[in-house]
A and B are shown apart, each in its own frame.
Chain A
Amino acid sequence: MLELIVISTLNGVLFGMLLFLLSSGLTVIFSMMGVLNFAHASFYMLGAFFGYQISRWIGFWPALLLAPLLVGVVGMVVERYGLRNTHKHGHVAELLLTFGLAFAIEEIVSMIWGKSPVDYRVPAALDFPAFTVFSTNYPAYKIFMLAVSIAIFVALLIVLKRTRVGLIVQAALTHPNMVGHLGHNVGRVFMVVFGVGSALAGLAGVIAGPSLVTQSDMASLLGPILFVVIVFGGLGSLPGAFIASLLIGLIQTFAVALNGSLASAFGPLDPTLGPSVLSDIWNVTIAQIAPILPYMLLVLILIVRPMGLLGTRET
């Protein structure tokens, strides 16, 4: 039991940090530009596939640098030539544009790399057990993932809180017009922020690819969870996104590891009753409902606290 708790906590924090790599970019882009980037998870997927392809050509370490840069460039192009032109039609049009992009990117990826998972391996240098907890070998690659995401988290914090660039970004979040009046090129700030956000998503993809499954549906699987995270944390709140990422990461990891059901807790139902909704609910294990837990949380938070955990604004 203790073993399960330790391993699941490690995995949960890891998944949570990965979610935060994605949700931080999404939240900053949202609060700055008012655009909910539906294609954010697609950038994560692009990162994984670029990482896979580049690491096959020239190795994992260059891919770790090049793939996020490439995704960042894709993001900037999307902002400059897509979103900026759509802005005049309103936020719904922008949201729809990113929705169409997410759809198209998924199709392009499955067209080029196929619909089945690609063989994206952990680099040999990190392919060893880091330490042994009780009887489980904990892979070094996961520790590496954790280290990268924490490093990015700290770097992001320093850039946002301690540098001039971060100051401008923070100001543009709340007062984009004033920042423009002060002589900053708000359009370029938006483009760079969008690019950096996409690059972070791409980086998450590169490091998550070998550990999770690199497949053309990975964006559509993760995307909705990402939206749950930022609604749960409160739209536009970076600390909220952080807490929600960790929380949902931990909840999902623990749920997957647990095999209990109502039947195992209270004994099986009378078999003469036959199959019914009750017997379905009675026999389903916690592991089986793990995929829907985030959405249940979403409904719950909307009823209890509609602005999210740390959100301040109503819309």
Chain B
Amino acid sequence: MSEATALPAEDTPSGSRAQFYGIWVIAALALVVLPLIFSSGGSLTSFSLIGIAIVFALSYNILLGQTGLLSFGHAVHYGLGGFLAVHVMNAVASHDWPIALPFIPLAGGIGGLAFAILIGWVMTKRAGTVFAMISLGIGELVASSSLILRSVFGGESGITTDRTALPHMFGWTFGPQLQVYYLIAFWVMVSAIAMYALTRTPLGRICNAVRDNPERVQFIGYDPHVVRYLAYGFAGFFAGVAGGLTAINFEIANSAYLGATQSGLVLFAAFIGGAAYFFGPIIGAILVTYLQLGLTNVTSVWQLYFGIIFIGIVMFAPGGIAGIIMMHRPLVRAGSWAMVIPSYLAAVLPTLASALGVILAIESVARYAAGGDGSVINLLGVPFDATAPMTWLVAAVLVVGGFLVARLSWRRVAAAWDRAATIARDRGYLA
């Protein structure tokens, strides 16, 4: 995480300031307009889930991207926030308190924050690998304890609630998914702005410094432990908000919210999107949620594809998708980007071929191991029989041949990239 966060510089001229606010206004407009264009029930549900995932992934990035803390147990705050939100909703409904549903995510946030305050001081003593392992242990501890404390967590089945039983606001009952979507969209916007603002505060800056060089932070008079603790608290709060939104969306909280799978998914989202940039986790959350919803219908081993994509990103593009995009910025500014396009086009085909080969191989093995039932694989409209030796041969040829050619073509990409970057550097744009 040594790359600097590429945020607009302090002394932005008024033109780029308009551009900066423009992005936020466009994002807000998009959130409002999206359900009017795609108004089917399925897409509304997807948008709601993506919105929640964005808040969750951004909260995770306060730790991973901004403070350099790799957590394997972030879902603890998410889940506890969800549980507190459900309990508050039930209490509000049974006591007739005048608290409307839109304020409930705040309760979730407080739940996440409270646990972060409680456990954070011990956890953030150390960064790096030790923190990662402790977060894993705490995650397991909370997830297992939740099954024991049945009266609070409801055991295996979880705790249900009814979001329409709360006092209405603006005449909205929050029964229909559309109204819930707008509630989530509102909180996504508020949380995103708040978390972005956090990165611009002195605390956000010192967090970056703690990530990059904790020793020098100590020399200038800050305690990295305190800084990490504060960052941990903020991350816990916003994870709790995401958990509260989930509780509203599904009207249930169960122990799966706290589990290792949820923690793994948010890590995937933040890292695949790109932890070094603020907008990276947003891309990652959209992609991961979309893949999760889309792939489950297509293949039974969708989680394996997640793992492979993740490994590929870690090995070949540790900056994530945002990193890849931002790499091209100096080239675009210098106007030398056209030089790399031909080599990209040359690399696309073999890369795609070997990817298809991997997919074919995985699907063949999956269907073969499952007992040959439904063993016809439909890949780009071409049917393959999972039990036929021909399929295995095609897969092997695609993987090996595609890989060998792809390696050559990516070398050419690197060479073309070097030339383009040199030109960009000569024209005064840092690459």
Chain A residues within 8 Å of B, Cβ to Cβ: 30, 34, 36, 82, 85-86, 89-93, 95-97, 99-101, 103-104, 107-108, 111-114, 220, 224, 227-228, 231, 235, 275-277, 279-281, 284, 288-289, 291-292, 294-296, 298-299, 302-303, 306, 314-315
Min distance, Cβ B358 to any Cβ of chain A, angstroms: 12
Cβ A280 vs Cβ B150 within 8 A:
yes
Q: Tell me the nearest residue of chain B to A97, going by C-beta.
A: B314
- Write out the residue numbers on chain B whose beta carbons fall within 8 Å of the beta carbon of A289: 148
Main secondary structure of the interface of A (DSSP, over half): helix
Complex partner residue of B136 from A108, A224, A306, A315, CB under 8 angstroms: A224
Given contacts A280-B150, A295-B137, contact A111 B304 (CB under 8 A): yes
B384 interface residue per 8 A CB criterion? no
Name B280-325 residues within 8 Å CB distance of A: 301, 303-304, 306-308, 310-311, 314-315, 318
Given A96-B271, A104-B304, A315-B130; A299-B369 close (CB under 8 Å): no
Number of B residues with CB within 8 Å of any CB on chain A: 47
With A227-B133, A295-B138, A295-B140 known to touch, is A104 a contact of B307 (CB < 8 Å)? yes
Contacts of B126 in A (CB 8 A): 306, 314-315
Q: CB distance B314 to A277 under 8 Å?
A: no
Interface flags for B127-146 (1: CB within 8 Å of A; 0: not) read 11110111011101100110
Among B325-366, those with CB < 8 Å from A are 362, 365-366
B125 within 8 A of A: yes
Q: A92-B1, A97-B315, A296-B141 are in contact. Are A114 and B307 (CB under 8 A)?
A: no
Is B136 touching A96 in the complex (CB atoms < 8 A)?
Answer: no
Residues of B within 8 A of A90 (CB): 1-2
| Chain B nearest CB, measured from A59 CB (Å) | 23
Across-interface contacts of A91 in B (CB, < 8 A) = 128-129
A34: B residues at CB distance < 8 A: 129
Cross-chain contact A107 with B307 (CB below 8 angstroms)? yes
For A292, the chain B residues whose CB sits under 8 A away are 140-141, 144-145, 148
Contact A114 B314 (CB under 8 A): no
A70 nearest CB across to chain B (Å): 18
Complex CA distance for A314 and B129, rounded to whole angstroms: 11
User: Chain B contacts of A228 at CB under 8 A?
Assistant: 137
Q: Please, could you name 30 A-B residue pairs with CB atoms under 8 Å apart, sorted by A?
A: A30-B129, A34-B129, A36-B129, A82-B311, A85-B315, A90-B2, A91-B129, A92-B68, A92-B128, A93-B314, A93-B318, A97-B311, A97-B314, A99-B264, A101-B311, A103-B264, A111-B304, A111-B369, A114-B369, A227-B133, A228-B137, A235-B129, A277-B149, A277-B152, A288-B148, A295-B140, A295-B141, A298-B134, A302-B123, A303-B122
**Could you tell me if A113 and B369 are in contact, using CB atoms closer than 8 angstroms?**
yes
CA of A91 to CA of B141 in the docked complex: distance in angstroms? 25
Nearest B-chain residue to A228, judged by Cβ? B137
Name the A residues within 8 Å of B136 (CB-CB).
224, 227
